Chain A
């Protein structure tokens, strides 16, 4: 079981309010991802849930019981830290067994659970090594192993992949998703990475300055961002946000159109601009377009190759039904 409910929780460090009153419901078995710009309070929120920080006000319920005053060890949650936080002087086996040992479990039971976790995580060959003798990805798996042997109600991951190289990151992303499918345990996951958020999450929580801007499934956030912040934050490259007369034509203060929803041509179209930098990725080409008179820089995605050069004039046509409209308060208009 892993229902977590946050009721009006706030957090102040001294005079600074890092998290203004915040409500959030996390259901059993969900994979919830917290995203947001650096310093927006993702780690703080996770540490509040873990109990490593005290809430200033409000309450936290885990499985319907008030856990606001419960010490971290009693909350039944397991955390995987960004630095892995393995115990360097213990072997992998002892690291994984540590929570069991602290719980006073018998040696045989400990061994059985460690072996089971190690085989799930492909660590069996490394059980007698020290963490210092492992690669980054293996350390990461040991940290996850230490978390799963406790059979927690929920896992908390704070940017667990940020120390890994790109290829390993893709692999570990799949492994964690696999693990979630297998264990069906609630997971809360903090990341900077768009792709991790979009691919892994059942539910994404977008935070800015401690405020939840939107909660929803990845595609919901993509198709129906609730405000201009979410519109600009979710999706890569970023959505083009246009203000002024062009937006007024659509009865809005701001209109948004994603780079992939703009058609381009060298002959004719609704908007006109001058090609700046083009990024060729092989499968796609991203064109940065200047002097449109709409916004500073417009980004357009073209499938495959497009033969344009720096300084060429180009015409763009947005797909009308993919246009997002936002009001003066930045909220979505429908």
Chain B
């Protein structure tokens, strides 16, 4: 397979794709780095020049920064916990033989096909709206005061919306993993006197550990950069109650017209994402070793 010759050929053939990808990644990255050390305000575009670490200083000392950092972590962790726990339960449920299995499975996957802006708007206007929303209607029907989700509990509401979007992904991956569980192992455990609950705990869950790791890693990557859902529902508010790092970068560069500070925020976000990634790989990455 890997003779000297074939390895050279392989390198030669993947070179164009590699160059394209590198360019795709490196050019924006380098430009972000470049701007993060420049003075570049859209309101006064003629005043430019190098400013050293000033942009970073401004971003990190911005009172919104700490809030955004905490919000980002709460958002990621909240969604991860909800999707993994519910995903495992749903996968176990969907694995049971039942009537209309195929249709039910497709229905479960459906939310994943709805684009984030649309699903967030649907939640905002059709469910969570305190006047016309279904939840308000339900609350009134049982004589309760309607609850204004997006202004009373903005972050929790966004966690709910994002979880709803990502639950299908988690369920699907975990379901395929459950289906690969050897049925004889389950029968052996049954004969060994394990109750359904201990079978779940001692056989199913360890079997799923690798799939759960994959779900956590992939979702973390996407959840760190949640943006559309916040933009169309709360605009990061009230105050900074639902601002995450991505949204803060957007707010700095495009709402405050300070591209320099926005770029510095982007670089900070990259560094933080890498720290999270290292932590994750340390904690659960060993599950991926065969």
Binding site for B on A (CB under 8 A): 50, 52, 71-73, 77-79, 81-83, 85-90, 98-99, 102-103, 146, 150
Q: Are A98 and B191 closer than 8 Å at their CB atoms?
A: no
Determine, out of B69-77, B152-160, B192-200, the stretch whose residues face the partner at the interface: B192-200
Binding site for A on B (CB under 8 A): 182, 184-185, 187-195, 198, 202-203, 206-207, 209
Question: In chain B, what residue has the closest Cβ to A104?
Answer: B193
Question: In chain B, what residue has the closest Cβ to A80?
Answer: B188
Q: Are B192 and A98 closer than 8 Å at their CB atoms?
A: yes
**Chain B: interface secondary structure?**
helix
A253 to B193, CA, bound (A): 53
Chain A residues near B194: list those with CB within 8 A: 73, 98, 102
Question: In chain B, what residue has the closest Cβ to A75?
Answer: B191
Q: Are B193 and A73 closer than 8 Å at their CB atoms?
A: yes
Chain A residues near B182: list those with CB within 8 A: 83, 85
Q: Write the nearest CB–CB distance from A132 to chain B, whole angstroms.
A: 9
In the complex, besides A77-B191, A79-B187, A87-B203, 17 extra interface pairs with C-beta distance below 8 angstroms are A50-B191, A71-B190, A72-B187, A72-B191, A73-B192, A73-B193, A78-B191, A81-B184, A87-B185, A87-B202, A89-B206, A98-B202, A99-B192, A99-B193, A102-B193, A102-B194, A146-B188
A-B pairs, top 8 by smallest CB distance, nearest first, are A73-B193, A85-B188, A99-B192, A85-B184, A89-B206, A102-B193, A81-B184, A72-B191
Q: Are A103 and B193 closer than 8 Å at their CB atoms?
A: yes
Chain A residues near B207: list those with CB within 8 A: 88-89
17 A-B pairs with C-beta separation under 8 A: A52-B187, A72-B190, A73-B191, A73-B192, A78-B191, A81-B184, A81-B187, A85-B188, A87-B202, A87-B203, A87-B206, A88-B207, A89-B209, A90-B206, A102-B192, A102-B195, A146-B192
Chain A residues near B189: list those with CB within 8 A: 87, 98
Q: Write the nearest CB–CB distance from B214 to chain A, whole angstroms.
A: 16
Chain A residues near B192: list those with CB within 8 A: 73, 98-99, 102, 146, 150
Question: In chain B, what residue has the closest Cβ to A74?
Answer: B193
Question: In chain B, what residue has the closest Cβ to A132?
Answer: B290
A77 to B188, CA, bound (A): 11
A86 to B202, CA, bound (A): 12
Q: Are A52 and B202 closer than 8 Å at their CB atoms?
A: no
**Chain A: interface secondary structure?**
loop
Question: In chain A, what residue has the closest Cβ to B190?
Answer: A72
Chain A residues near B202: list those with CB within 8 A: 87, 98
Q: Write the nearest CB–CB distance from B189 to chain A, whole angstroms.
A: 7
Q: Write the nearest CB–CB distance from B195 to chain A, whole angstroms.
A: 8
Chain A residues near B209: list those with CB within 8 A: 89
Max count, chain A CB within 10 A of own CB: residue among B191, B193, B194, B209: B191
A305 to B195, CA, bound (A): 61
Q: Write the nearest CB–CB distance from A45 to chain B, whole angstroms.
A: 15
Q: Write the nearest CB–CB distance from B193 to chain A, whole angstroms.
A: 4
Question: In chain A, what residue has the closest Cβ to B206?
Answer: A89
A89 to B210, CA, bound (A): 11
A117 to B207, CA, bound (A): 27
A90 to B184, CA, bound (A): 16
Q: Write the nearest CB–CB distance from A152 to chain B, whole angstroms.
A: 9
Chain A residues near B193: list those with CB within 8 A: 73, 99, 102-103
A77 to B192, CA, bound (A): 9
Q: Write the nearest CB–CB distance from B10 to chain A, whole angstroms.
A: 31
A188 to B284, CA, bound (A): 44
Chain A residues near B198: list those with CB within 8 A: 102
Q: Are A83 and B184 closer than 8 Å at their CB atoms?
A: yes
A159 to B195, CA, bound (A): 27
Chain B residues near A78: list those with CB within 8 A: 191
Max count, chain A CB within 10 A of own CB: residue among B184, B185, B192: B192
A300 to B198, CA, bound (A): 58
Question: In chain B, what residue has the closest Cβ to A82?
Answer: B184
Q: Write the nearest CB–CB distance from A32 to chain B, whole angstroms.
A: 19
Q: Are B190 and A85 closer than 8 Å at their CB atoms?
A: no
Question: In chain A, what residue has the closest Cβ to B290?
Answer: A132
A71 to B207, CA, bound (A): 25
Question: In chain A, what residue has the closest Cβ to B184?
Answer: A85
Q: Are A52 and B191 closer than 8 Å at their CB atoms?
A: yes
B187, B195, B206: the one within 8 Å of A85 (CB): B187
